[in-house]
Amino acid sequence: MKDCHQCKDYRDCAGKPWFHYSEVRFCPFQILWVIENSDTLLQGNWPPDPDSSSYVDPQAKTGYKSEGYYIKPAGILGEVNARLSRTGTHGKLLRAEVLAGLDLSQESRDALMYVKGWRRKRMSYNAWKKWRKLYQKVK
């Protein structure tokens, strides 16, 4: 499997069943993984690695002396939730479909593509959808 540190485009990636804290780049696969594991992250714990059940992510348990061990998992979840909140009902639909294990609808895929990426998008979700529609016509 490709290491997330060297991954340049999510389209060349097959995804992974588990992500190390330092691998989080907010690609679509990681966004879906965060949503799937939101209950564990909300409790301040990093989900265990399914390949080695006794492993606990050391970077998720350590941090600055002034912050608790739960800050990093909750921070990742908070970032994803903040991005999803900008997508309105499409973000809620994405969360519901992921948690129910359903195939993603077009509205959910749009929300997923909006929330992915290293940084939050500056333009609103509706403006981004219009821009994307125009950009795809030009291609």
pLDDT over threshold 90, residue 39: yes
132 alpha carbon, distance to own chain's centre: 20
Structural domain total, the chain: 1
Is residue 2 situated within a structural domain? no
- Overall average pLDDT of the 52-66 stretch: 53
| Confidence band of 16 (pLDDT split at 50, 70, 90) | confident
- Is the Cβ–Cβ distance between 14 and 1 less than 8 Å? yes
Is residue 43 situated within a structural domain? yes
How confident is the model at residue 24, as a pLDDT? 86
Is residue 8 situated within a structural domain? no
How confident is the model at residue 116, as a pLDDT? 94
User: Nearest-CA neighbor of 117 among 9, 46, 25?
Assistant: 25
Residue range of the domain that includes 81? 19-138
Worst-scoring range by mean pLDDT, 22-36, 61-75, 102-116, 120-134?
61-75
Is residue 7 situated within a structural domain? no
Answering whether pTM is above 0.75, one says yes
| Confidence band of 51 (pLDDT split at 50, 70, 90) | confident
